[in-house]
């Protein structure tokens, strides 16, 4: 005989009541226990099954909060059903109270050994039944809580290990990058120290120049490392003011013109007639634009152009998570376009990561830390702006920076 469960899964989920599955081959026992549970102050929902096999099916489908299971039943005994349910991942955590008519403690022992939470002797006393049901449900709820907590802790632990790993990696790369220029400085200083009497003064000057170059590399790297650290510690202090973005970008363009000319690169700058006021941190904006222009000059071969354009018609990127086309904010758009090597799709994915020195190499012996764009991305996000790159391998790259317009 197949006994239909007395409620559906959705009913089960929609109310907060506990559901108990009562398994007994004798109908009068099922009815008696069910009645006690239904009329208890907790008003338990009750499912019933006449044998172990049906009980297993119902338990798998409905995941009751507790099972009360008779021992001796046809088809599949209570003990067999208990073992079956405890072996399965989906039903393992459902507490089971065994009903036993036998007085023997051997039975009690084998039930508890097989994973039963508790046992009740037949005939069942109403008060004892409810007390044991409450205790088993409470215990199981604490168990579930502890299990969830330990899963959360495990996850946190995993994240901490990953973070620690990333920090170590970061430290390793930073130390490695500092070691080369430091070794250079040390070697060059030793040459000056041991050969000062025999060296012509021009050569000493050259050596001092090389020492300065190495020191500059180190200063740049340390500055980048401090920026990354400040970003990760949440220590970027925004000093937002209203300023004309065209003037700021113009200053950066002018400061790079000389360097571009040295590489025979022409730096073009176009901007609208009107002043374009943005509300952002001017120093950070300058740092971001400087990074983008310096990259364009650094990675372009000679005899190419770099175009810096400011336009008034930026629209918040529809891909941005917090944006829907209709509510997109008006943005000022700053493009830095070069005619350099561009980049592959693979490189594009890593572009804004830390220490990502990719396929493109500096074309004029410039230094590369691979930190610039990760700093750019973070600074722009702090200022509620957007930055991304559009590029096809072999066909140059365009970096687009958008900053919110003053309302
Ligand atoms: N305009 C560009 N064109 C081609 N590749 C670029 C461009 N800008 C950056 N890259 C690539 O991205 C990498 C990361 O850039 P960045 O974070 O600024 O670090 P860095 O300039 O110190 O190497 C660079 O090493 C380079 O390979
Ligand atoms: Mg750079």
Give pLDDT tens digits for 300-319.
999 999 999 999 876 766 45
Ligand 1 probe mutation, 222, 305, 370, 389, most atoms within 8 A of CB? 370
The residue-averaged pLDDT of 388-399 equals 96
Cα of 277 from ligand 1 centre, angstroms: 29
Task: Examine the pLDDT at 133 and tell me if it is beyond 90.
Answer: yes
Cα–Cα distance, 96 to 21 (Å, whole number) = 9
CA-closest residue to ligand 1 atom 8:
295
Cα of 364 from ligand 2 centre, angstroms: 13
Cα–Cα distance, 109 to 206 (Å, whole number) = 89
C-alpha distance from residue 112 to each of 65, 97, 129, 134 (Å): 18, 9, 17, 18
pTM of this prediction exceeds 0.85: no
Q: From the CA of 351, give the closest atom in ligand 1.
A: 12
CA-closest residue to ligand 1 atom 9:
295
pLDDT level of residue 102 (50, 70, 90 thresholds)? low
Q: Which ligand is nearest to the CA of 393?
A: 1
pLDDT level of residue 292 (50, 70, 90 thresholds)? very high
Cα of 373 from ligand 1 centre, angstroms: 7
pLDDT of 328 reads 61
Question: Among 17-31, 114-128, 266-280, 314-328, which is the least confidently predicted range?
Answer: 314-328
pLDDT of 14 reads 37
Cα–Cα distance, 232 to 32 (Å, whole number) = 64
Q: Which residues surround ligand 1 with Cβ inside 6 Å?
A: 291, 295-296, 299, 338, 340-341, 343, 351, 356-358, 360, 368-374, 397
| DSSP letter string, 263-293 | TT-EEEEE--SS--EEEEEHHHHHHHHHHHH
Q: Domains in the chain, start-ordered, CATH in brackets?
A: 9-124 (3.40.50.2300), 164-232 (1.10.287.130), 240-404 (3.30.565.10)
Q: From the CA of 375, give the closest atom in ligand 1.
A: 17
Cα of 37 from ligand 2 centre, angstroms: 71
Cα of 252 from ligand 1 centre, angstroms: 18
Cα–Cα distance, 345 to 340 (Å, whole number) = 16
Q: From the CA of 359, give the closest atom in ligand 1.
A: 27
Locate tokens 């239909």: which residue? 4
pLDDT of 6 reads 43
């Amino acid at each position: 005989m197949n006994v239909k469960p007395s409620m559906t899964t959705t009913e089960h989920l929609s109310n907060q009541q506990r559901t108990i599955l009562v398994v007994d081959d004798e109908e009068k026992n099922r009815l008696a226990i069910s009645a006690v549970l239904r009329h208890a102050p907790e008003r338990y929902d009750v499912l019933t099954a006449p044998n172990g096999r049906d009980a297993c099916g119902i338990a798998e489908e409905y995941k009751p909060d507790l099972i009360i299971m008779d021992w001796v039943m046809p088809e599949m005994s209570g003990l067999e059903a208990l073992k079956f349910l405890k072996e399965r991942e989906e039903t393992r955590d459902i507490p089971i109270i065994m009903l036993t008519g036998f007085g023997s403690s051997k039975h009690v022992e084998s039930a508890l050994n097989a994973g039963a939470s508790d046992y009740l002797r037949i005939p069942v006393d109403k008060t004892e039944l409810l007390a044991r049901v409450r205790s088993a449900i409470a215990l199981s709820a604490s168990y579930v809580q502890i299990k969830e907590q330990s899963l959360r802790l495990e996850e946190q632990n995993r994240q901490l290990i990953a973070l620690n790993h990333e920090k170590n990696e970061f430290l390793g790369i930073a130390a490695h990058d500092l070691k080369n220029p430091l070794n250079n400085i040390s070697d060059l200083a030793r040459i000056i120290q041991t050969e000062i009497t025999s060296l012509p003064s021009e050569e000493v000057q050259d050596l001092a120049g090389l020492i300065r170059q190495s020191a500059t590399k180190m200063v740049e790297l340390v500055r980048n490392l401090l920026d990354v650290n400040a970003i990760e510690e949440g220590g970027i202090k925004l000093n937002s003011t209203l300023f004309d973005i065209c003037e700021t970008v113009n200053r950066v363009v002018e400061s790079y013109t000389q360097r571009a000319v040295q590489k025979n690169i022409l730096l073009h700058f176009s901007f609208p007639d009107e002043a374009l006021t943005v509300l952002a941190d001017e120093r950070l904006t300058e740092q971001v634009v400087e990074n983008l222009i310096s990259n364009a000059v650094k990675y372009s071969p000679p005899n190419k152009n770099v175009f810096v354009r400011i336009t008034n018609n930026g629209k918040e990127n529809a891909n941005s998570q917090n944006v829907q086309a209709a509510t997109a904010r008006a943005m000022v758009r700053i493009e830095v376009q070069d005619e350099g090597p561009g980049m592959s799709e693979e490189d594009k994915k890593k572009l804004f990561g830390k220490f990502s020195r990719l396929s493109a190499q500096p074309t004029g012996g410039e230094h590369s830390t691979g930190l610039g764009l990760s700093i750019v991305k973070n600074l722009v996000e702090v200022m509620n702006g957007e930055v991304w790159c559009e590029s096809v391998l072999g066909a140059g790259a365009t970096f687009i920076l958008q900053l919110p317009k003053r309302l």
